Chain A
Amino acid sequence: MPGLGASFGRGGATGDLQDLSNADVIVIQGSNMAECHPVGFQWVMEAKARGAKVIHIDPRFTRTSALADSYVPIRSGTDIVLLGAIINRVLTQERDFREYVLAYTNASWLVSEDFEGPEDLDGLFSGFDSDTRSYDTASWQYAGAEEDGDEQEETAESTESESGHAMGAGGASVDHESIRRDETLQDPRTVWQVMKRHFSRYTPEMVQEVCGIPTDLFEEVAEAWITNSGREKTGVLVYSVGWTQRGTGVQYIRAGAILQLLLGNMGRPGGGVMALRGHASIQGSTDIPTLYNLLPGYLQMPHATRHPSLAAYVDAIKGANQKGFWGNADAYTVSLLKAYFGDAATAENDYLFDALPKIDGDHGTYGQVMDMIEGGKIFGYFLLGQNPAVGSANGRAQRLGMANLDWLVVRDLVMIESATFWKDAPEVETGEIVPEQCRTEVFFLPAASHVEKEGTFTQTQRLLQWREKAVNPPGDCRSELWFFYHLGRRMREKLSGSTDPRDRLLLDVTWDYPVHGEEQEPSSADVLREINGYDLTSGELVPGFTALKADGSTSSGCWIYSGVYADDVNQAARRKPGREQSLHAPEWGWAWPMNRRVLYNRASADPEGRPWSERKALVWWDEDAGRWVGDDVPDFEVTKPPSYRPPEGATGVAAIAGDDPFIMQSDGKGWLYAPKGVVDGPLPAHYEPAESPFRNTVYTQQQNPARELYTNHLNQVHPSPPERGSEVFPFVWVTSRLTEHHTAGGMSRYLPYLAELQPALFMEVSPELAALRGLEHLGWAHAVTARAVVEARVLVTDRLAPLRVQDREVHQIWMPYHWGAGGLTTGDVVNDLAHLTLDPNVHIQEFKAGTCDVQPGRRPRGAAVLDLIDAYRVRGGVTMSSGSVAVTAELLHPDGKDRGEQAMAGATGTGTGHRAEDMEKVLSVRHDIRSRPGDPQQHGVPAVVIDDDPDTSLEGS
């Protein structure tokens, strides 16, 4: 979560759920918390019972709205305008918590003279290169640090590389000693003044115009948030995948983070940014990542060319003159290598750093899928706990990709659609997949469920909770731990004696977990001990990450989890009931880092170490005891006094001053302005979603110019104004979840008790849209995009209302995405509607705002589905280049540039690059039935048609 990482230093929710009950205002935006996090929602209800105001901002009135004090309908994809307008109000009316802002944020830092923002460049930040669709960040730096531009972000490759995710546990590096500041905030180059200018056009009127929120409702939200923040009061912001699953999601989070910093809500009781994770242990699977670009503990994955040695790798993380705990990156990395390779890793062989796999570009999920479609690069695929045939964006591309493999291993509880696509995918009906000819050999391995294996979950608030095995898994079902341990064991046996250098990694890795029972199940506790880490000289478990060393004398499988097995006690298995301890329940489970529940809690005290107010006291400096004390584990060196100032030349931990609460940040402060760490702008700016029925009112620039595109005939994007054709897809669709089902349905559609609660796929529409399109309650309707057509039962409800935007009425429809071909209740795959346009920081798809048409009745069957989609493509002018031009100004004023070329510039044709020859290859790929000669979308790159260019109208073509 680089939005949080760049702002505060760590990419996790900043507090615990219980702390919500301390809030005076709770703003829930981009989250349907009551439905998707019902257990955590009890603390919202607790806060409400104590008098807090709960505000829910969402396109749709949900079960969360039903329990909120205020519900604010918003057009999906416009949150930055709303947040920006509140920020603007705080800045212009000086309603910020000034002492907090001056002491704990970079408001007074001076920004480089070279920086220009959207105010100057009509929607772009300085440094944009439309040929590569990426920013050179040199001009974004602090004054005096211009040479410090992030090398990773200077190249086109960077937008698809690993820079974003690496902010998970620490901010980007900056030379803190060269920073200049103006405490009066008057210098026009201060972050404060730069922000003030940047947000000046975000006004209540703009909110009404863009978001469809009337000004009085805006007034209510803004005032509730501002007046319930400050010295005596705090407010918390809650978001979830309604913000992250977007092409500009990281900037939404940045906007929320800026507001919370300005209002002084960070690190304080009842404050913070509560990032609710998508499902069970998703936090855990970024901490100990299932991501291609990270090693455990948010250490970035080594790059093949940038990190030729361990020293080069570590130096790249530490940066020059950087403050904070990343200064010890060498200790974390070496301890990780010692955990991986044991005695084989020595100082002489660079701790086998060169045996680690390296990356050289975008190897993200969606890029891989494109490679699979193209063929010849990816031959096999492991699927664990994932059902991309249903859950991933553009399911059609997913399934056609999987149908082009040699082998596919699916481990799941039930026979999910990703294991059966070769015989029951929608593409079988259309003739695109012929079961007899599908080349993919599928191996289905039954998996043990969470009650049939032991281990930990790391949930939303970074809390590790140990769970026991309740029953033995039935039949051949086995845990993931069993599967990977024995897979590795067998591979090592097969490779034993090999001298091939490529086998070194597997043969040197420590693979000595004790097993037990008839099934030879490895010990989960032993794995957790390895993660915690050992002092290798004594064989004792280390007490925490501060004990890790860079000399090879310690090991730790994940430095941020170090301490989870301190004192040889499984700290994650502690279950002292909440009623027997304080609100933060420090003896229930274990939270990283070091069991701190509220991050940055040093900021709950003023610069001198006294609580800002008695009502909001959490951690404070006890002069007599000479240490930080309070109700939570201090997120600060316990004995470092508030008066501490680092000596000149200090780096790392020693450089953190006594009033630097953001200890993972390279300058110790919360970042209102992010000179690094976010690749699509140091400040959030509003762009319309990649597909929108509206022209951007805020800037000329229509979409996020740095968005990632996968250009492929299966992944065509609808035109948005000023291109013609958006009128063919006039409605906005949003997909998300229901309480009653679990993500892609593998754990719910097959269970009668859950299937009966939401027994059919449905589409929520307003009575107005129902009247407009002749939809009947409980009847059928189908939604159409250039990717798919999906049918669903109609639920007409007052909970959806059309909004007035730019003096037009816009209808939003909503569908849950849990259905597929299997289970007790079946239905179309809703995420097939989605296109793959990704956030450049985190490669996340846009599920929350696409455009579509809706028509009554059931969809066509068989190949007629493709004809319908084709008809829409032709009418809407959908091509491989529509909606794809990076810079809107260039689209309007081509200056001799061919529009098709513009659209394809920097677009990612395949997962591994965008070189011309790759592009041609992509364009020439044809899929059986799709490659009918004469279809316009199959012919290279037709011209983009602009609204003010009527002579090139596609009407009637």
Chain B
Amino acid sequence: MVPRTVSPNSFSGRLDDPAGNAGYDAPPPRKGFFTDTSVCIGCKACEVACKEWNMVPEDGIDLLGMSYDNTGGLGADSWRAVAFVEQSRPVGNVTGPFAGAATGGTSEALQQETVAAGLDVFEEASRLGTGLPEGRPVADLAAAATGAPGAQGDGCGCGAGGGGCGSAPPAPAGTATAPERSGQFLGMPGMLAPAPLPDREGRQDVRWLMMSNVCKHCTHAGCLDVCPTGALFRTEFGTVVVQQDVCNGCGYCVSACPYGVIDKREGDGRAWKCTLCYDRLGADETPACAKACPTESIQYGDLDELRERAEARRRQLHDVGVTEARLYGEDPDDGVGGDGAFFLLLDDPEVYGLPPDPVVPTRDLPSMYRHMAVAAGAMVLGALVSGLGRRS
């Protein structure tokens, strides 16, 4: 077979065979993960199995207060990390657990605080049971369910106004209506307590999202593209792996990752991240996390097949009314050419701490070079002109 040259697509855009593109002859089908968060029970077996198999060190014994997430996201010492997001919002097809008269503050102390907050308790009470915060039209929820970016009335889509979302910062009491209050919320999981009092009437519902995050093994991997030593490489399975004996700890990859996955290990200096259990793959074994997952939330396999399975699952959920289900990272035409590890989410990616529209930095290389060439040309031209001018 004739050795191929680097494809014109290798920096961005659709690329069906990254391993072949990297020079492998007849590579095996591309492998990946499909993480279906709708069946994740947050048991963290994936985190432990990953650490056990890959001998990843402990990552700090600190209570973070981010619901049950004490890992705090991916890093050099956490290659799987389960995010927990508590929201005052129903899962599409279920009854709100706290709907009705069962709950709600009627104690004297709470009433006093409500009055102090400047709220009309009767007006608030009139909304009890609707599950909707003030100023939030039903159409907004419908739009949110389609997953259309920007279609939502508030940033987190939690349906509870700014403070209602489990991760929202507390809004100053009684200062604004729900849409205004929510303007500052970026949707990222945070370390703050749930809704302060003024929003408690919005707590008709609660849902608890869990998602096991992992390296995306991008089709166009920013980390790999910027690695000056060749420590990061594309495997025959289409995954991206760091060779620890080659890594010199320069850290370019850390800033190049659009997801913030790869990181340098303290006291070591080198960059570490998920290998998709490259060693296990070579022995035809399932990666440790997927093997340990009890509910098949983490599915491992050929990427093409996983994409079909994921789309079928998304449709199934929509059929039973979970219309907020959407896929993330499965699109080969997105900013990184699609992820090798992609997800089914039940809310906007920001809610889970995922970037809504990740782009590989190298996508802009051609245009940057074009601009650079133009600039350089202009400088040369300018120099020539000025030189010529002086001489003349």
Q: Which residues in A have some Cβ–Cβ distance to B below 8 Å?
A: 34-35, 38-39, 41-42, 45, 49, 61, 63-73, 208, 212-214, 216-217, 220, 739-740, 752-760, 762, 767-768, 770-772, 776-778, 793, 795-799, 801-804, 809, 824-825
Contact = CB atoms under 8 A, between A and B. Distances in A.
A778 B191 CA distance: 9
B42 interface: yes
Contact of B95 (A35, A220, A796, A804): A220
A43 to B, nearest CB: 10
A772 B107 contact: yes
Given A42-B295, A61-B208, A63-B210, A739 B102 contact: no
B51 A755 contact: no
Interface of B: 39, 41-45, 47-48, 51-52, 57-63, 65, 67-68, 70-71, 86, 88, 93-95, 97-107, 109-110, 113, 166, 191-197, 200, 203, 206-210, 294-296, 316
A214 B95 CA distance: 12
Nearest to A216: B100
A82 to B, nearest CB: 13
Given A214-B100, A214-B102, A756-B58, A799 B208 contact: yes
26 contacts: A38-B43, A41-B294, A61-B206, A63-B208, A66-B41, A66-B207, A66-B209, A70-B97, A72-B97, A73-B97, A217-B95, A740-B44, A759-B62, A759-B70, A770-B193, A771-B197, A772-B107, A772-B110, A777-B193, A778-B191, A793-B63, A801-B102, A802-B107, A804-B102, A809-B106, A809-B107
A195 B329 CA distance: 58
A404 B138 CA distance: 67
Contact of B65 (A38, A45, A778, A801): A778
A64 B210 CA distance: 12
Q: Which 7 pairs, one residue from A and one from B, show the smallest C-beta to C-beta distance?
A: A777-B193, A214-B100, A752-B58, A66-B208, A71-B97, A760-B63, A796-B193
A63 B41 contact: yes
Most chain B C-beta atoms within 10 Å of own C-beta, residue among A49, A69, A220, A801: A801
Nearest to B88: A798
Given A755-B61, A757-B47, A793-B65, 19 more contacts: A35-B41, A38-B295, A66-B207, A70-B94, A73-B97, A214-B102, A216-B100, A752-B61, A753-B52, A756-B62, A756-B71, A759-B60, A796-B194, A798-B88, A802-B104, A803-B103, A804-B101, A804-B102, A825-B61
A386 B110 CA distance: 44
Contacts of B166: 797-798
Q: Is the interface of A mostly helix, strand, loop or mixed?
A: mixed
A754 B44 CA distance: 9
Contact of A757 (B71, B107, B192, B206): B71
Contacts of A213: 102
A253 B105 CA distance: 33
Given A69-B93, A69-B94, A739-B42, A771 B86 contact: no
Contacts, number: 174
Contacts of A799: 86, 206, 208
Nearest to A68: B94
Given A65-B97, A756-B71, A803-B102, A798 B61 contact: no
B202 to A, nearest CB: 10
B102 A45 contact: no
Contact of B203 (A41, A753, A777, A798): A798
Contacts of B113: 771
A776 B194 CA distance: 11
Nearest to A53: B94
Nearest to A755: B61
B47 A771 contact: no
A732 to B, nearest CB: 15
Contact of B51 (A740, A753, A793): A753
A804 B101 CA distance: 8
Contacts of B63: 759-760, 762, 778, 793
Nearest to A771: B197
A208 B67 CA distance: 30
Contacts of B194: 767, 796-798
Contacts of B47: 753, 757
A912 to B, nearest CB: 44
Contacts of A72: 97
B58 A67 contact: no
Contacts of B191: 778
A754 B197 CA distance: 35
Nearest to A767: B194
Contact of A739 (B43, B106, B107): B43
Contacts of A757: 44, 47-48, 70-71
B129 to A, nearest CB: 10
Contacts of A220: 95
Nearest to B208: A66
B12 to A, nearest CB: 37
A217 B94 contact: no
Contact of A756 (B60, B88, B93): B60
A771 B296 CA distance: 40
A71 B99 CA distance: 11
Nearest to B98: A801
B128 to A, nearest CB: 11
Contacts of B61: 752, 755-756, 759, 824-825
Contacts of B99: 214, 217
Contact of A767 (B41, B43, B195): B195
Nearest to A760: B63
B254 to A, nearest CB: 22
A754 B208 CA distance: 22
Nearest to B56: A753
B101 A768 contact: no
B95 to A, nearest CB: 6
B354 to A, nearest CB: 19
A770 B113 CA distance: 13
B208 A756 contact: no
Contacts of A42: 294-296
A799 B194 CA distance: 10
Contacts of A802: 103-105, 107
